Amino acid sequence: MPIHLQREIERLKKLVLSLSATVEKDLRQAVKSIADRDSVLAKQVIEQDVEIDQAEIDVEEECLKILALHQPVAVDLRYIVAVLKLNNDLERIGDLAVNIAERAEFINSKVKIEIPFDFNGLSEKTQTMLRDSLDALVHTDAKLARHVCEMDDEVDAINRQMYDQVKNMIRAHPDQVDVLIAMLSVSRYLERVADHATNIAEDVLYTIEGHIVRHGRDLAKS
Write b or e for each residue in 104-131: b if 16 or more Cβ atoms lie within 10 A of its Cβ, otherwise e.
Answer: bbebbeeeeeebbbebeebbebbbbbbb
Residue 216 lies in a domain: no
Average pLDDT, whole number, for the chain?
Answer: 92
Q: Minimum mean pLDDT among 37-41, 102-106, 156-160, 187-191: which range?
A: 156-160
Residue 116 lies in a domain: yes
Residue 221 lies in a domain: no
Q: What is the pLDDT of residues 134-152, one digit of tens each?
A: 999 999 999 999 999 999 9
Q: Over range 176-188, report the average pLDDT.
A: 93
CATH number assigned to the domain comprising residue 21: 1.20.58.220
Domain assignment of residue 17, given as a range: 3-209
Residue 222 has pLDDT above 50, yes or no: no
Residue 215 lies in a domain: no
DSSP string, 137-192: HHHT-HHHHHHHHHHHHHHHHHHHHHHHHHHHHHHH-GGGHHHHHHHHHHHHHHHH
Residue 222 lies in a domain: no
Q: Over range 171-177, report the average pLDDT.
A: 90
Q: What is the pLDDT of residues 27-85, one digit of tens each?
A: 999 999 999 999 999 999 999 999 999 999 999 999 999 999 999 999 899 999 999 99
Q: Over range 104-128, report the average pLDDT.
A: 89
pTM over 0.85: yes
Residue 219 lies in a domain: no
